[in-house]
Every structure is written in C-alpha cells, then in structure tokens.
Chains A and B, each alone.
Chain A
Amino acid sequence: MTTETTVDVIDKVLGLGPSSPLLALRDERAKLKHLTQTSYVAALHPSDPRNFSYAERATLAARMAALWTSQELLAHYRDLATTEGASGDVLSIADPAWTPEDEAGRLSVILRHVDLVTKNPKAATRDNIEKLYAAGLDDRDIVTLAGIIAFVNYQVLVVAGLKMLRDN
C-alpha cells in the first residue's frame, strides 16, 4: 500500500486536482487533513494487523461504504481489497447482501456488528459486545473492530459533506 500512504484518499476519491477550490479549502485545515489520512492508514493498514488482515479491513470498509451507498469510497475500497489480496469469503464481505454460511461463526458475528453499528448505532447494547467475546474476539480485537467501523463512518460523512461543497 505504498501509494495509498502518500496519496490523500479523500482528495483522490473526490477527484480534487491541483486547481480545485475544494482542495484549497481542505488545505486551510492541513493538520486535520493530514491526521485524517494517518487515521486511515492506522485503521486500514496498521503496522501490526494482528487478527484483522489488511484484506479483511479493506472489504469491511467496502461493505460499510456500500451500506451508505458512498459510491466513491466503495470503488476505492474494492480496489484496495484487490490490492491487499482479498479472495473467497473475505472478498464477499464487501457485498452487504452476503452472509457467511456458518451463521454462528466469527465472521457472521463480526458482520452483524458492522452492519448494526454502521446503520443503527443507537440500537447497540452490551449484549452486542458479549456476542463478539462469545465468537472468540479478545479485548483488543473488539476495540480494533470498533475503531475500523468508527473511522470508516467518519470518512463516509466527511466525503458526503465535501461532495456537497464540491457540487454546489
């Protein structure tokens, strides 16, 4: 992912070239823009991916972008999933209509959590965290997953707001 760490993902997905007024506006908040990009790397391609592979992170992000019909981010994360070598079940994650055959397995439990916290976070309760523990996730896994979900949703909102500025 060497190129992904140097190219600003949000500028890229919104097609903001050097002459774009929105690019100039974003650069007025250079620190925030930089930290948004470094947060992206920390969520999608951290130095130690531990129990969430880079491919799985990219397809989870694609799934969340699809849940919000954020076409620009969906296209980006599909490409990233390919770059990260996603295949089989991991590749299928990107499709929100897909559910794994083993309904009680780790991946099923994770996907139900991702879908809930993305589209209806207010409905989440302690019970949802207990289900993640029961599926074999440890404390750090749960915080990692929460962080990936939270970051991608932030990014979806930022891209939606910036698109409004770009097109009006």
Chain B
Amino acid sequence: MSDAVHEFTLDALEWQPYVKPVDLQTATPEQLDALKVTPSNTKVSAYVLVLAQETEMLAERSPLFNDIMYSDGGLSRGGRELGALAASFVNHCIYCAQVHANRFIQLEKRPEVVEEIYQNGLDADLGEHDQALFNFGVDLTAHPDNVGVYQFYHLRETGLSDLEILDLIHSVAIFGWANRLMHTLGEPHRKD
C-alpha cells in the first residue's frame, strides 16, 4: 500500500478510513436504504460506508449535497466547483480538492485556473470572475464571522445575481461540512 498523501495533487487518489466502515453483508435495512440515495448503487465508496454508521444523518446529507452541487439554474456547475475547491484548500482536504479540481477542469475546460490555484494556493491570481468566487470561498470558510459588505460588493461587481450568490454560499458551506468529515475520518493514498 502506498503512503498517505499530505500535499495537494491532481493525481487519482483513494480515500482510506480511520474508522470502521459498515459491512454491506451485515448492514441493517435502514443502512441499506440510506446507502441507496448515493449516485452509484452497486459500488459504494469507503467514505459513504463510514458515514452509514450514522444512517439518519447520511439519509439527509446525500440528497442535500447533490442538490447544492447539481441543481438547475443559478450559479454554473463550474462556479460551484470553484467554491468547493476554495473551501477544500483552506481546510486542507487533499481528497476533496483533487476531486473538485478535476471536475472543474472537466466542466470548464480551463485547466489554467486550477494550475494557478495549485501553484499559489490561497494567493492565486485569477481572472476577475473566478477571483471573486474563489476569494469568497476562502473568506467564508476561514472567517465566517467576518463576511459582509466587502465580500458582497465584490460578488455584485462581477455580476452575480442573488440566486447565484445563494448557490455559491451553499457550495462553500457544504464543503465546510464535507471537509470536516473527509479530512478527519480518513486520508488519501495514491492509486497504484
């Protein structure tokens, strides 16, 4: 087994838990039911199997996550991935960052944005629109007690509507949630 990865990377990773996952063979009906709401039924990830230890929370969390990241209208899918990436950089969730950086590249076809973030981290120098989204993600994640008129002005300045700002808030906040699970309950290893 390869060593755990502690630096940001775009390479394929596998998340390994510190906590025992639920065993699908002996899972209760409630656990199986909660596991069903994830996109893939047949191959359940170790991460989701760990969260299945607490079925009632998982059953609400999976559809919430999907609605925040994939609902129609409002902020672009790529914009939401940028919010997720900003949060994951602040919270140092290597695995979350890898997944959502690659998803951003896939959706936006602009790998240079991700390259700049991976090179300069929270000081990344981006185009105006991306910068506004990224900076808001960093500020809300690092200082939720200090978000106000300054952040709002920059979001408006780049032309975001109320609904787009609402979507950005949720995409950052749900990674305040996801990072605190993924980064604390296990760690990523490079895929062989």
Contact = CB atoms under 8 A, between A and B. Distances in A.
**Interaction A to B:** yes
Interface of A: 25-26, 28-29, 31-32, 35-36, 38-39, 42-43, 46-48, 68-70, 117, 121-122, 124, 126, 128-130, 139-140, 142-144, 146-147, 149-151, 153-158, 160-165, 167-168
Secondary structure dominating the interface of A:
helix
Top 8 A-B pairs, shortest CB-CB distance: A161-B169, A122-B92, A157-B173, A35-B64, A154-B177, A160-B144, A143-B53, A150-B180
B15 to A, nearest CB: 13
Contacts, number: 158
B185 interface: yes
Given A35-B63, A157-B140, A28 B163 contact: yes
Interface string B50-65: 1101101101110110
B189 interface: no
B84 to A, nearest CB: 13
Given A121-B180, A143-B51, A164-B152, A31 B67 contact: yes
A96 to B, nearest CB: 13
Given A35-B63, A161-B147, A165-B152, A146 B176 contact: no
Contact of A151 (B51, B57, B74, B165): B57
Contacts of A122: 90-93, 183
Interface residues of B, number: 53
A127 B119 CA distance: 29
Given A126-B187, A139-B19, A42 B71 contact: no
